Amino acid sequence: MVEERRTSPQREANRLSTMLRHVLGEDRFPVDVEALAREVSKNNEDPIEKIVGGDLPGFEGMLRPHGKRPGWHIVYNDDPRYGGRVRFTIAHEFGHYQLHRSALSAGDYVTGVLQKNCGFECKPLRSNAWRETERLREEQADTFASFLLMPLDDYRKQVDGQEMTANLLNHITDRYGVSLTAACRKWIDFTEKRAAMIVARDGFALWGRASKSALKSGVFVRSGMTMPDNALISQGLRGTGFTSEVPVSQPAGIWSFSRGSEPVRELAMISEFLDISITILQFDAHAKSTDLEEEEPWDAFDQFNAGGQFRPDFDRR
């Protein structure tokens, strides 16, 4: 059951992605998610009729049922601070439409107005602010959006085993029309390299993620961890954007995780609007990784659920 919930958003996104490739070929990025949502839903009795920006204080987006006839509206927050995330938000709401909505028909409107409450209101998520069922649903909509906008096979081709640099990340965010956070998080989730990302504010980690192989070797980012004094992001940097074009080599002793400290290559950036920094740590291949297989201290599921690590406070993209 859990497995099915976890895989079906990805499967649905891949199905639509394959369809787009047939129709548009390789030149289909960034995905025009508005056109896709209208096209896919138009043959349903309750299509997505409108996709509009609006003033949604505290919310990133909503999927609203029409009040008088079967149909839906997607509304996204048009505050400029959310600008880099609009495409992802629309894809997230489209995910609710495809995966979670209760389909509407004329029968739901016999009195002239819709009686049931079946909309979706999506906030910047916090780990403990949602009931478990809501959290699962929100996570599924995010997974759907991520795979729809950044199909894995295409992303792998773009990266092709290279080290992550500012240039490469800029290329990725341009190609897919998503925020840096969304692009980094996706890469961390699929890369076979030992790497981690940390989103921080005021010197403390809000949340972080480590790649599978990094987790196996003891790299686990706890929310609340202090950013080291000698980390790039702690060195009194001003302005926004990347602090360097390519990762900077840091000796052992600066970044420490549960099994001690090792040299690392660090790439850091300061986000434009949201007062957060993102640090990407890239480690050398672990010489003893085969010895560590049996321990497997955290699997992906643990990581999702441990200590609020899964949910960023603000920029979950």
- Interaction site with Zn ion (CB under 5 A): 122, 138, 141
**Minimal distance, residue 33 CB to Zn ion, in Å:** 15
d(CA 52, CA 299) in angstroms, rounded, equals: 39
CB of 141 to Zn ion, least distance (A): 5
Q: Please, what is the minimum distance in Å from the beta carbon of residue 17 to Zn ion? A: 20
Alpha carbon distance 256, 310 (integer Å): 20
Which residue lies nearer to Zn ion by CB, 120 or 176?
120
Non-local (6+) Cβ contacts of 31 within 8 A are: 20, 87, 91, 148, 149, 176, 177
Q: Which is nearer to Zn ion, 193 or 316 (CB)?
A: 316
Tell me the residue number closest to Zn ion, measured at CB.
122
CB of 296 to Zn ion, least distance (A): 31
Three-state secondary-structure class, residue 246: coil
Peptide bond just before 65 cis, omega within 30 deg: no
CA distances from 212 to 48, 126, 244, 255, 297 (A): 37, 23, 26, 18, 11
Q: How far apart are CA 195 and CA 302, in angstroms?
A: 17
Instruction: Report the residue number, 141 or 264, with the smaller CB distance to Zn ion.
Output: 141
The DSSP bridge pattern shows strands 48-54 and 72-77 to be parallel
Q: How far is the CB of 152 from Zn ion (least distance, A)?
A: 22
How wide is the angle at C-alpha 195 spanned by C-alphas 187 and 86, nearest 5°?
Answer: 30
At its nearest, how many Å lie between Zn ion and the CB of residue 149?
15
Which 3-state string (H, E, C) describes 36-72? Answer: HHHHHHCCCCCCEEEEEEECCCCCCEEEEECCCCCCE
Closer residue to Zn ion, CB minimum distance, 90 or 168: 90
* Closer CB to Zn ion, 88 or 220, in the complex: 88
In the bound state with Zn ion, the residue whose beta carbon lies nearer, of 121 and 275, is 121
User: Can you tell me whether residue 135 is helix, strand or coil?
Assistant: helix
- Of 141, 143, 255, 149, the closest CA to residue 200 belongs to 255
Q: What are phi and psi of 90, to 5 degrees?
A: -65, -40
Of 96 and 212, which has the nearer Cβ to Zn ion?
Answer: 96
DSSP label at residue 25: T
Alpha helices (H) along the chain? 2-24, 33-41, 86-99, 132-149, 152-159, 166-176, 180-190, 212-216, 289-292, 300-305
CB of 134 to Zn ion, least distance (A): 8
From the CB of 304, what's the least distance to Zn ion, in Å? 17
Of 94 and 257, which CB lies nearer to Zn ion in the complex structure? Answer: 94
